[in-house]
Amino acid sequence: MGSNVKKFLLKIAGKDSLKIDDRIGFRYVFFICLKYGVMIIRGLFISLLYKNIKFPFFVGSKCVLVEKRKMRIGAKVKIHNNTKIDALSSDGVVLGESCVLGERCIIECTGSLSFLGKGLKIGNRTSFGRNCFFGAAGGIEIGDDVIAGQNIRFHSENHFFSDLNRLIKDQGVSHKGIVVGNNCWIGAGAIFLDGATIGNGCVVAANAVVRGTFGDNCVIGGVPAKVLKMRSAQSV
């Protein structure tokens, strides 16, 4: 009986495929599902107003969604408490099906009104932990099935500074963009700089600073990041 009730509650919460450890009690599961029930009610009102936002859509408390008309959000997307998305940009913000953004994440597509940013695309079933920042002025594209920890930062804009006779703030910026492939694992605290590209199946170590281009199935770490080994080979 208890097992069937748990399954029913998880289905309401959009987690019907989750297998729960038998040691976790009904009370804990109930309150988790209650939280998601409140989130889905918030998301329902938004999805009714905007056809580009699919239902079910889960929205936490104190979330700020700016320029909703520039968002394309797939079914079963979960945006947790205190997250802010400002989608003002040429391409907007695309969140694939079952994408998850943890608490206090920030998506900022246009850093200055003097330049309209490109925007952000996150693939299906990709999830980010708490306190992640996406500076998407130069464009960020993240693939499917990416798992990512907390405090990860993307900066798709970089300042020019070579002219000693001008203030750095007056020398302009680059917008090369950032690309992350499918099926990657990004450790907590990693930083991606403008122009960074990693292929499919890559693992990025915690606190790595990623710049440049990396192929498929690399294990990347360091400041600046370099290839530590390949997933299917010995360390290099």
187-230: per-residue pLDDT in tens? 999 999 999 999 999 999 999 999 999 999 999 999 999 999 99
**How does residue 1 score in pLDDT terms, banded at 50, 70 and 90?**
very low
State whether 61 and 175 are in the same domain. yes
The CATH number covering residue 153 comes to 2.160.10.10
State whether 78 and 34 are in the same domain. no
Residue range 10-28: mean pLDDT, rounded: 73
Give the number of other Cβ atoms within 10 Å of residue 93's Cβ.
26
Residue range 113-128: mean pLDDT, rounded: 95
Q: What is the pLDDT of residue 210?
A: 98
> Which ranges in the chain belong to alpha helices (H)?
2-12, 26-49
State whether 88 and 201 are in the same domain. yes
State whether 76 and 182 are in the same domain. yes
State whether 6 and 87 are in the same domain. no
123 phi/psi in degrees, rounded to 5: -80, -175
State whether 77 and 188 are in the same domain. yes
Spell out a b/e string for 96-109, using b for 16 or more CB atoms within 10 Å of the CB, else e. bebbbbbbbbbbbb
State whether 80 and 187 are in the same domain. yes
- Residue-range definition of the domain harbouring residue 13: 1-49
Distance from C-alpha of 41 to C-alpha of 59, rounded to nearest angstrom = 8
3-state secondary structure of 33: helix
- Find where tokens 């605290």 sit: 189
* Strand 209-210 relative to strand 226-230, pairing: unpaired
How many domains does the chain contain in total? 2
Distance from C-alpha of 219 to C-alpha of 184, rounded to nearest angstrom = 10
State whether 108 and 26 are in the same domain. no
> Which ranges in 14-152 belong to alpha helices (H)?
26-49
Is pTM, for the whole model, over 0.85? Answer: yes
Query: Between 26-49 and 2-12, two packed helices, what is the crossing angle to 10 degrees?
Result: 20
State whether 164 and 181 are in the same domain. yes
Predicted confidence (pLDDT) per residue in 34-74, tens digit: 899 899 999 999 999 999 999 999 999 999 999 999 999 99
Which residues have CB under 8 Å from 2's CB, separation 6+? 26
Q: What is the pLDDT of residue 235?
A: 46
Predicted confidence (pLDDT) per residue in 133-186, tens digit: 999 999 999 999 999 999 999 999 999 999 999 999 999 898 999 999 999 999
Tell me if 67 is assigned to some domain: yes
Distance from C-alpha of 88 to C-alpha of 61, rounded to nearest angstrom = 22
